[in-house]
Amino acid sequence: MNIDYFSQIELQCHCGCGESNMNADFMQKLIALRQHLDFPLCLTSAYRCAKHNQAVSTSGGTGPHTTGRAVDILIHGEKAFMLITVAKQFGFTGIGLKQHGSHVQRYVHLDDLTTMATITRPMVWTYA
């Protein structure tokens, strides 16, 4: 798998444990999306160990980042619009938007999770 677009630091857990267990199918989708958009995607969060996810997310120790099937991308404005416009075409089923506040804090979450018992996919949500 060609991951030249993303550094190992971007893909690993940011708690200091250094774990990185990104799902290969997910990464193929992300790379295809990146190639289609033809501009860099800066990942602010990719894989998270259960302990780190518990500390930073309301999804607790078992959120989408812990499966290696989710990323947060630092992006805003026209490029964010382009990203969310085509994400479903590349197999992404979860799109979370934080597009308020400082530009360096705006991001789009992407994941490719399937429909669960209580949550129908695809879906889009916003962060407070």
Among 16-30, 72-86, 114-128, which is the least confidently predicted range?
A: 114-128
**End-to-end C-alpha distance for the chain, whole angstroms:** 35
Read off the pLDDT of each residue in 44-63 and give the average, rounded to a whole number.
91
Tokens of 19: 């774990």
Distances (CA, A) of 71 to 14, 46, 89, 117, 118: 13, 4, 17, 23, 22
Level-2 CATH architecture, domain 8-126: 2-Layer Sandwich (3.30)
At 72-100, the pLDDT tens digits run: 999 999 999 999 999 999 999 999 999 99
> How do the domains of the chain map onto residue ranges?
8-126
What gap in Å lies between CA 94 and CA 112, rounded to an integer? 6
- Report which secondary-structure segment, H or E, holds 42: strand 42-45
